[in-house]
Amino acid sequence: MAKVFVTRKLPGGALDRIRQAGYGLEVWEGFCSPDRDTMLAKVAGVSGLITLLEDRIDAEVMDAAGPSLKVIAQYAVGVDNIDLQAARARGIRVTNTPGVLTDATADLAFALLAATARRVVEGHDYVRNGEWRCWHPELLLGPELHGATVLVVGFGRIGQAFAKRARGFDMTVLYTSRRERPEAKALGARRISLEEGLARADFVSLHVPLTPETHHLIDEAAFRRMKPGALLINTARGKVVKTQALVEALKAGHLGGAGLDVTDPEPLPPDHRLLHFPNVIVTPHVGSAGRATRVRMAEMVVDDLLAVLSGNEPENPVI
Ligand code: NAP
Ligand code: GLV
Ligand code: GLV
């Protein structure tokens, strides 16, 4: 019987369909990824894998699975944890979950922007720490959301959904892209170079995938170009930002604050320097964590895994 290994329990009932379709199913019960040796042992002889963004799926894992492996269905839209070249060389299909998580992730990016600008977490801490004694005209002032200029870096699905939210808040929306995007017109967004956009924006929100081209896209030079007091929002991938440069820009007081759902390293240790800045908010990579979204993502990975295993074309092929 062909076997499938799933690296975590998924919300909803989608995984039941794998067994119902006649496949052997093993689901890792741990809260975190299996350690490397366990992963290499568990994948041996499987035909399909359902993976999460923290599972490093490289040639070694593929070879440990062996020639039976036909499909890696990733429970995420980003696939930077999977060695696509190695998969291609072995004729393994890779699928992901685009689209279904777009709005949930754009919502979180906007929540981080609003919370960072209007200092929601600092305000909460202020109250909780018993510091709230009176109303004061200069207490916890921050930049205005309405009327601000935001630069959307990467104008794909999530970048565009974020732009729509920004327009709803009466912001001027600029975007960077390797090509002109016709969708921009309806969204009232204007294309600009990264250099110029960084110099103009009050807020910069990152929505590119992590690739060799986007690795450390936001480095010392990028921070220097940003306006004093600007805010950085990252819901893309931690490594799109050079952490050392981010820390320096915050330390110098040049950057006004950061709202980060993704970090480098990830997870971020509780004693990390980034967490010493009151104007930095960090969430634990929960961009797509809407309840319904996560159930639909599970249905998508199972649909595509079963499609490939039964010799059909998956709906969301990466390769
Ligand atoms: P998408 O539709 O593919 O959009 C990404 C855009 O980035 C593309 O349209 C592309 O636009 C641009 N881009 C710039 N440089 C690129 C490069 N070197 N290679 C490919 N594209 C490049 O993806 P999406 O669904 O919006 O997701 C974007 C990323 O968000 C994912 O890859 C993932 O890393 C991250 N994400 C995070 C969370 C979270 O939980 N925080 C949740 C979902 C997704 P041009 O071709 O016009 O340049
Ligand atoms: C989450 O980070 C994703 O890429 O779906
Ligand atoms: C503030 O609460 C106000 O009434 O202006």
pLDDT tens-digit readout, 48-95: 999 999 999 999 999 999 999 999 999 999 999 999 999 999 999 999
Dist CA 57 CA 274 (whole Å): 29
Taking residues 273-282, what's their average pLDDT?
98
199, amino acid identity: A
186: left (phi over 0), alpha (psi -120 to 50) or beta: alpha
- Of 53, 77, 193, 268, the residue with max ligand 1 atoms within 8 A of its CB, to mutate for a pocket test, comes to 77
| Phi-psi region at 50: left, alpha or beta (left = phi > 0; alpha = psi -120 to 50) | beta
Residues 24, 11: Cα–Cα separation, whole Å: 19
Rounded Cα distance between 51 and 87, Å, is 14
Q: Write the residue with the smallest CA distance to atom 3 of ligand 2.
A: 76
CA of 208 to the centre of ligand 1 (A): 4
Alpha helices, DSSP H, located in 50-193:
59-65, 84-89, 102-117, 120-128, 157-168, 183-187
Ligand approaching nearest to the C-alpha of 205: 1
Q: What is the pLDDT of residue 251?
A: 98
DSSP letter at 122? Answer: H
Contact 81, 99 (CB under 8 A): no
**CB contact set of 134 (below 8 Å; sequence gap of 6+):** none
Ligand nearest to the CA of 136: 3
Residues designated as active site: 237, 266, 285
Q: For ligand 1, say whether the CB of 294 is within 6 Å of any of its atoms.
A: no
Distance CA 112, CA 179 (A): 27
Q: What count of other Cβ atoms lies within 10 Å of the Cβ of residue 1?
A: 7
| Residue with CA nearest ligand 1 atom 20 | 209
154-212 residue pLDDT tens: 999 999 999 999 999 999 999 999 999 999 999 999 999 999 999 999 999 999 999 99
Which of the 8 DSSP states describes residue 65? Answer: H
Q: Residue type for 34, please?
A: P
Q: What does the pLDDT read at residue 41?
A: 98
- Of the listed ligands, the closest to the CA of 284 is 1
- At 306 the pLDDT is 98
Q: Whose CA is closest to atom 4 on ligand 1?
A: 156
What local confidence, expressed as pLDDT, does residue 308 receive? 98
- Closest by CA to 233, choosing from 110, 78, 139, is 110
Distance, in Å, from the CA atom of 319 to the CA atom of 79, rounded to the nearest integer, reads 11
Element holding 127 (H helix, E strand): helix 120-128
Tokens of 136: 């004061």
Q: What is the pLDDT of residue 180?
A: 92
Q: For residue 82, what pLDDT is reported?
A: 98
Residue keyed to tokens 């320097």? 273
Q: Is 126 in a helix, a strand, or coil?
A: helix
Quote the CA–CA distance of 146 and 262 in Å, as a whole number.
Answer: 25
User: For the chain, what is the largest distance between any 2 Cα atoms, rounded to a whole number of angstroms?
Assistant: 70
72: tokens are 């890696």
Dist CA 77 CA 296 (whole Å): 13
Nearest CA-CA partner of 319 in 1, 63, 41, 74: 74
Protein residue whose Cα sits closest to atom 25 of ligand 1: 157
- H-helix or E-strand spanning residue 204: strand 203-206
Q: Count helices and strands (H / E) in the chain.
A: 12, 12
Q: Among all chains, which residue has been given the structure tokens 């320096």?
A: 248
Residue 153: is it exposed, middle or buried by C-beta count within 10 angstroms (0-12/13-18/19+)? buried
pLDDT, tens digit (0-9, with 9 covering 90-100), for 84-132: 999 999 999 999 999 999 999 999 999 999 999 999 999 999 999 999 9
Give the position, in ligand 1's atom list, of the atom nearest the Cα of 237: 34
Q: What distance in Å separates the CA atoms of residue 117 and residue 103, rounded to the nearest whole number? A: 21
DSSP secondary structure letter of residue 254? -
